[in-house]
Amino acid sequence: MPRTNARVVTRSRNTSSQVLWTTLLVFGAALIGVAAQAQDEKMIRSHGYSFYGDLKYPADYAHFDYVNPDAPKGGEISISTLGTFDSMNPYSRKGRGGALSSIMYESLLGDGTGGESAPADVYGESYCLLCESLEYPESKDWVIFHMRKDAKFSTGDPVTADDIAFSHNLLLDQGLQSYADAVRKRIPKVEVIDDYTIKFYFTPGISRRSLIDQVGGVPAWSKKWYDETGARLDESRLMTSPGSGPYMIDEVDVNRRIVYKRNPDYWGKDLPFNVGRNNFDTIRVEYFGDENSAFEAFKAGEYTFRVEGNSKQWASAYDFPKVDAGYVVKEDIPDGSPPTPSGIVFNLGREVLQDKRVREAVALGFNFEWTNESLQYGLFKPRASFTQDTPLMAMGAPEGMELAMLESLGDLVPPEMLTEPAVMPHISDPTRLLDRTNLRRAMRLLDEAGWAVGDDGMRYDANGNPLRLTFLLNSSGSATLSAVIENFISNLGNMGIQAVLEKVDSSQYTARERDRDYDLVFDGYRPFLGTGTGLAQLYGSEAASFSLFNPAGLASPMVDAIIEASLSAQNKEEEDASMMALDRALRFEFFMIPAWYNDSFWTAYYDQYEHPDEQPAYALGYLDFWWYNADKAAALRAAGALR
């Protein structure tokens, strides 16, 4: 408990001693009551955090189970990305941030290299990195982090509680509005107790979900650097603040490459959290203008590791000589995470798309089965759910705890949601692009919505306005995706919809997507395996008009109520039921045409990298816990496979 200094002031000389003593007795009793309450409440001090208090790894863990603790350090891994960049500040809406430009920064509770989970074999658990322990009452009304005194920025300056408080406030003052608005309501105060102790207070009467892990995940920036340079978090800039992480910037060649090098003086290299991780001396990112040039560069050895996303290339293009000779490894690695909920997103801010019947009609123009067989070599599965292939995926009609939770929301939940199966994607004829049955269904829906067929075969409303939709697409994306969208637009034309495909370069695409200057866009949301206040930024109404994480602009009172109910779950069973209900509700709202998914990582790499035999469920980890084999690399160079 913080120390309370009480001072009693006598208003006049005539104040009786009886009144004074009564006041002191009442005040003293109040202090005793507060102290007794504090003593009664259980205090928790730990090396990590999970909401329910269950941690896989004990305080004396030596390393994460899936890493190779003897993995050698050294070598380079090089990867590619498409498009352009003009900033090394990824926290601003302005500019296009460079790949991995947040890699230098650590937080109180650790994360994986490149933003993946760490540890990657559990969900919902965090472990101390910049802190050595945290403590909080059972009520989770506040949290205190005890920081490591040996943590340092790459400049050699210590990472202190003042830096953490500064970083927290900087995000509120200059960060994304949707983030700042959400956090201010939940975290009203931060207190620096001393150089290495910091306390966060949480708003009374709200859910304790995502509060401790929220403040524990704030990137640590150098207050000294920001004070000296006058830099702002909301500006586009190539200059970067120093980080405390294992990697630092070595080279930035705008629109060509970014190189990160290991900090030889990294303070945390021997922590159990880092054993077997961060194994490469350098990480190089090469930029390319389009998918074809990037693939040709990989074949030539200009970069050495590739996660393939193009099914056509995966099926037919990895037959070049280096693969046949064994110099390049083609490996399919299982992915235990729920797939990204990606697909064709409707901009619900457009009046024409606010009618659900129009959205359902447009969706019927997408033929997954034909697309998968004709353009994607049959390698994908149709995605239906926001929690696909997990126990949280809504199946059939709601029942049990999920049904009870939905019924408790009253009129917010449409009656059909309580009795009908969860929404599933339509099925199309795989033998022909235009499925006649689906076309007839779409035509009926458009008729019902008031979009009549004109003399020219196109759709018009009662005022003679055409049904026109623009589809925004990044021109640097894959040719396969472009073909998928072009065929989809062809089907829309057969419905009488004037659909226009607008291909723009990466910088224009980024700017227009931020401004929601589109009717349709191929985008995605983040999957979830549990509740948290971050769900409101993704799917909630409050920030729907501007959140970068909600490209549809979804604003549903039903979804809001389910998220709020999930935050009040008292146990894992209630939480799981609420997450299943959320999946059901998101599918019912129908703001996205679900596309496809792959339940494994398609990887190709020059045979100089190795990874653990036991792959963790929640990360591929090629930047995190893979390593470089110097002997294999020398053999590749001797054979002429690499320069």
pLDDT given for residue 40 in this prediction:
66
How far is Cα 436 from Cα 403, in angstroms, rounded to an integer?
A: 36
The DSSP secondary structure of 244-313, one letter per residue, reads -SSEEEEEEETTTEEEEEE-TT-TTTTSGGGTT----SEEEEEEESSHHHHHHHHHHTSS-EEEE--HHH
Q: Decide: pTM greater than 0.75.
A: yes
| 173-227 pLDDT tens trace | 999 888 898 899 999 999 999 999 999 999 999 999 999 999 999 999 999 999 9
Question: What letter would DSSP give residue 126?
Answer: E
| 516-555 pLDDT tens trace | 999 999 999 999 999 998 899 899 998 899 888 999 999 9
One-letter-per-residue 3-state SS of 160-190 = CHHHHHHHHHHHHHHCCHHHHHHHHHHCCEE
pLDDT given for residue 25 in this prediction:
38
Q: Which amino acid belongs to residue 126?
A: S
H-type helices in 457-554, by residue range? 479-494, 506-514, 534-539
pLDDT given for residue 33 in this prediction:
43
Give the CATH number of domain 342-597: 3.10.105.10
Q: Which amino acid belongs to residue 526?
A: R
- Band of pLDDT at residue 39, cut at 50, 70 and 90: low
State the average pLDDT over residues 607-616.
95
- Band of pLDDT at residue 21, cut at 50, 70 and 90: very low
Q: Measured between alpha carbons, how far is residue 100 from residues 89, 91, 198, 543 in Å?
A: 10, 12, 28, 26
How far is Cα 468 from Cα 498, in angstroms, rounded to an integer?
A: 4
State the average pLDDT over residues 430-450.
97
pLDDT given for residue 635 in this prediction:
97
Q: Which amino acid belongs to residue 491?
A: N
- And the tokens for 284? 């190089």
β pairing state of 282-288 and 76-82: parallel
- Band of pLDDT at residue 114, cut at 50, 70 and 90: confident
565, containing H or E segment: helix 557-567
State the average pLDDT over residues 34-45.
66
pLDDT at 37 over 80: no
**Segments making up each domain of the chain, as ranges:** 46-64+84-242, 257-336+599-638, 342-597
Query: Cβ of 108: how many Cβ atoms within 10 Å?
Result: 31
Question: Under 8 Å CB-to-CB from 15, ≥6 apart: which residues?
Answer: none
How far is Cα 482 from Cα 169, in angstroms, rounded to an integer?
A: 42
- Band of pLDDT at residue 477, cut at 50, 70 and 90: confident
Query: Cβ of 194: how many Cβ atoms within 10 Å?
Result: 11
pLDDT at 506 over 90: no
Give the CATH number of domain 257-336+599-638: 3.40.190.10
Q: Do the domains spanning 46-64+84-242 and 257-336+599-638 agree at the CATH topology level?
A: yes
Residue whose token pair is 């891994």: 77
Peptide linkage before 334 cis (omega within 30 of 0): no
How far is Cα 470 from Cα 521, in angstroms, rounded to an integer?
A: 9
% of the chain exceeding 90 in pLDDT: 87
How far is Cα 202 from Cα 212, in angstroms, rounded to an integer?
A: 9
- And the tokens for 389? 């292939």
| 241-269 pLDDT tens trace | 999 999 999 999 999 999 999 999 999 99
Counting beta carbons within 10 angstroms of the beta carbon of residue 242, is it exposed (0 to 12), middle (13 to 18) or buried (19 or more)? buried
Average pLDDT, the chain: 92
Ranking 110-124, 244-258, 340-354, 392-406 by mean pLDDT, the lowest is 110-124
β-sheet bridge partners, residue 297? none
State the average pLDDT over residues 145-165.
98
| 48-96 pLDDT tens trace | 999 999 999 999 999 999 999 999 999 999 999 999 999 999 998 888 9
- Of the candidates 547, 545, 575, the residue with the CA atom closest to the CA atom of residue 210: 575
pLDDT given for residue 478 in this prediction:
87
Q: Which amino acid belongs to residue 294?
A: A
Q: Measured between alpha carbons, how far is residue 230 from residues 74, 86, 226, 352 in Å?
A: 36, 20, 5, 45
- Of the candidates 364, 639, 383, the residue with the CA atom closest to the CA atom of residue 488: 364
Q: Measured between alpha carbons, how far is residue 248 from residues 155, 266, 625 in Å?
A: 11, 10, 18
Architecture of the domain made up of 46-64+84-242: 3-Layer(aba) Sandwich (3.40)
pLDDT given for residue 159 in this prediction:
98
Query: Cβ of 56: how many Cβ atoms within 10 Å?
Result: 14
